[in-house]
Amino acid sequence: MGRGFLRVRYRAAMPADPVHRPGATGIDPDRSKWWVRRLVPLLRAQRAIFAVTMACGLVGLVVQVSVPMVLRRAIDVALDQPSGGLYGYVWVLLGMAVAAFGLRFTYRYLLFMTAYRIETDLRSLIYHHLTRLPFSFYDRVASGDVISRANSDIRSIQLLLAFGPLWALAATSFVMAFGLMLSIHVPLALATVAGMPLVYVLAQRMRDHVFPLSWVTQGRMAEVAMVVDENISGTRIVKSFAAEADQIAVLSRAAGRLRWSATALIDARARFNPAIEAIPRLGMAVVLLYGGWLAIDGQVGVGTLLAFSTYVIMISVPFRMLGFVLLQYQRAAASSMRIFEILDEDPVIRDRPGARPVGDAAGRVEFRDVRFAYPGGDNPVVLDGFSLTVEAGETVALVGRTGCGKSTVARLIPRFYDVDAGAVLVDGVDVRDLTVESLRHHVSQVPDEPFLFSESIRDNVAFSRPDAPLDEVVTAITAAGADGFVTDLEHSWDEVVGERGYTLSGGQRQRIAIARTLLANPRVLILDDATSAVDVEVEATIHAALRELLADRTTIVIAHRLSTISLADRVVLIEDGRVVAEGTHRHLLASDARYEAILASGTERANL
């Protein structure tokens, strides 16, 4: 059976996926705060389960720390009473072992579950924010970098959230064990931990070395991910120019830079970690040397010496973990800053206070003296004094040379960008006073480079209306002139297309994209050179279907072909970012030499 049939069967057998909603509204917006404090809203959402987790951990810790004291007492009793008296202690120790196991299992299970919940919340929060960011953000940020921040950087934070509390509990065990050691024999306890201040100094020096290297390493991991992402997405371009060797060299250079920073990071750990872990173990030598002398001298008992030996192992655990936790902390700190750069990005295209939904739109579109330049430092002005009115139900073709601003006009209506001056109005209302979701529900665009998901044709068409019944999906496919090739596929509309739809031809992808937009049934339809990749015969079929569908909706056609222009009631000629002429095709052809020249160049391109 084919992939499409299997996927449909699999989906039918699975329950609907639940929509995950983060347990908090977001991070703390105060950018001056410490990065951990900015995560507090996410942490607070898990406070109930975290409280249970810490309670289990602390109780288990008390049990664990009490074991050497019970063991000390049992040995002293055994030495004083060789005939017996140990059975009670054996049962107590057995009970403590079972209790410690149960509590530590519960603690670790709940801790890692909480860490993964916070990771899921943070991942959902970032993705939700990414969906709200304007096109200008994606114009300047590489997709590979965004993917790296939303995956590996979040993973770094999750690891700290999982192992940080484990280390905190181990540090608490150090305090408790040290207190009990002081209660048994103060000089021996102080001698055992005499080297611990040096551990703190080494840890501070390690942190100063590791943090900048962690930041650089995370950035270079994103660079490698970006190179791989772009080469996989653009593999057809790479192969068509036989540029594999060049791209391998690009990746090799990026991987080399990552190797350098990662090696430097490992070198910093290698210089500090062994000393941080070894110094606490000197405490065992102190116990055996000084404690053994005290036992021989009769100042401490054998049970006390054994208890101290056990406590030395216990107090060394946080120091053995310290290097790893410090590394995770530095990575999480660097990763959080990279994540905050995304979450702090202002979603400038958002609903104004008091914005209202479009409602039952007629579809009248008006541009009033619009001025616009794409966001960025030195980008030129694209539209300058652009004014145009498209009446409800009218079909208007925008014609002009490449770069004159035709596609920009189409992007301003659904608020992919906001104008710098002037206004864009739908039914007499500034689009900035309308809710973005309702505006884009009524304004749909078919781009000249259609994007398809690696799903079935049916799912791609129904993307605009996921609840649409099959008969309406088929009607849209037919109206777009795609039924001919779709029905010839092995699984018809259940055929799964490849990534970005590359198993289909350019013209077939365009027809699926047109069907997807027609299924949405928008009041304002924008066709951005939407039939440029189809042949004249197929285009005529599509146009025949479109004429009926365009009769009751406002349509803006960005055209280069004369056949596409023929769909329009009125033609608008754009030059240098403004309207320089408008009228019917025949009128402009007879009265404006610029229009005739543009049509001539377009015809030449179409005939190549």
Q: Domain for residue 64, yes or no?
A: yes
For 29, residues 6+ apart whose C-beta sits below 8 A from its C-beta are 344
* Residue 430 shares a structural domain with residue 516: yes
The answer as to whether 18 is a domain residue is: no
For residue 222, being part of any structural domain is answered with yes
DSSP 8-state class, residue 456: B
pLDDT score recorded for residue 361:
80
- The answer as to whether 38 is a domain residue is yes
Most confident listed range (128-142, 374-388, 443-457, 560-574): 374-388
pLDDT digits (tens, 9 = 90+) for 533-542: 566 666 666 6
Return the amino acid letter for 23.
G
Q: Which residue has the higher pLDDT, 5 or 466?
A: 466
Residues 38-60: what's their mean pLDDT? Answer: 87
Token reading at 389: 């009115």
Q: Is 225 left (phi over 0), alpha (psi -120 to 50) or beta?
A: alpha
Residue 50, strand partner residues: none
Residue 298 and residue 386 in one domain? no
Predicted local distance difference test score (pLDDT) of residue 531: 63
Using a 10 angstrom Cβ sphere, with 0-12 exposed, 13-18 middle and 19 or more buried, the burial of residue 454 is: middle
Predicted pLDDT at 18: 46
* In a shared domain, residues 379 and 326: no
Where residue 115 sits, what CATH number does that domain have?
1.20.1560.10
Of 280, 308, 343, which marks where a domain is finished?
343
Block residue for tokens 């285009």: 539
Between 372 and 479, whose confidence is greater?
A: 372
Report angle CA 151, 157, 161 to the nearest 5 degrees.
Answer: 135
pLDDT digits (tens, 9 = 90+) for 540-565: 666 666 666 666 788 888 877 777 78
**Rounded distance, CA 602 to CA 562, Å?**
8
- CB atoms under 10 Å from CB of 46, counted, come to 19
Domain boundary pick from 278, 308, 343: 343
Give me the mean pLDDT over the 323-343 stretch: 82
385 and 325 in a common domain: no
Question: Whole-angstrom Cα distance, residue 248 to residue 235?
Answer: 12
Choice among 56-60, 244-248, 317-321 with the minimum mean pLDDT: 317-321
pLDDT at residue 93, as a whole number? 82
The per-residue DSSP string of 5-18 comes to HHHHHHHHHSPPPP
Confidence check: pLDDT of 3 > 60? no
**Do residues 83 and 184 share a domain?**
yes
**Residue 7 located in a structural domain:** no
Residues 303, 382: one domain?
Answer: no
What distance in Å separates the CA atoms of residue 438 and residue 569, rounded to the nearest whole number?
A: 27
pLDDT score recorded for residue 236: 60
333 located within any domain: yes
CATH code, domain with 385: 3.40.50.300
Give residues with Cβ within 8 angstroms of 85, minimum separation 6.
Answer: 77, 78
| Average of per-residue pLDDT across 164-192 | 84
In a shared domain, residues 332 and 461: no
Q: Which residues contact 170 (CB under 8 A, 6 or more apart)?
A: 317, 318, 321
Please state, in angstroms and rounded to a whole number, the distance separating the CA atoms of residues 315 and 286: 14
Output the pTM of the full model: 0.69
User: What is the average pLDDT across 141-163?
Assistant: 80
Distance of alpha carbon 285 from the chain centroid = 50
**Residue 303 domain-assigned?**
yes
| pLDDT at position 370 over 90 | yes
Question: Does some domain include residue 514?
Answer: yes
Q: Is residue 5 predicted with pLDDT exceeding 50?
A: no
Q: What proportions of the chain, in percent to the nearest 5, are helix, strand and coil?
A: 65, 10, 25
Q: Are residues 322 and 390 in the same domain?
A: no
Question: Is the same domain home to 495 and 432?
Answer: yes
pLDDT band of residue 16 (cuts 50, 70, 90) is very low
Instruction: State the pLDDT at residue 82.
Output: 60
Whether residue 233 is found in the same domain as residue 381: no
Residue matched to tokens 């040379």: 401
Half-sphere CA count of 300, side-chain side, radius 13 A: 24
Answer whether residue 90 shows pLDDT above 60. Answer: yes
Specify the pLDDT at position 184: 82
User: Regarding predicted confidence, which is higher, 438 or 564?
Assistant: 438
Same domain? 574 vs 477: yes
pLDDT per residue as tens digits for the range 263-278: 888 887 777 777 777 7
Same-domain pairing of 432 and 292: no
pLDDT at 179 over 60: yes
Task: Please give the tally of structural domains in the chain.
Answer: 2
State the residue range of the domain holding 157. Answer: 25-343
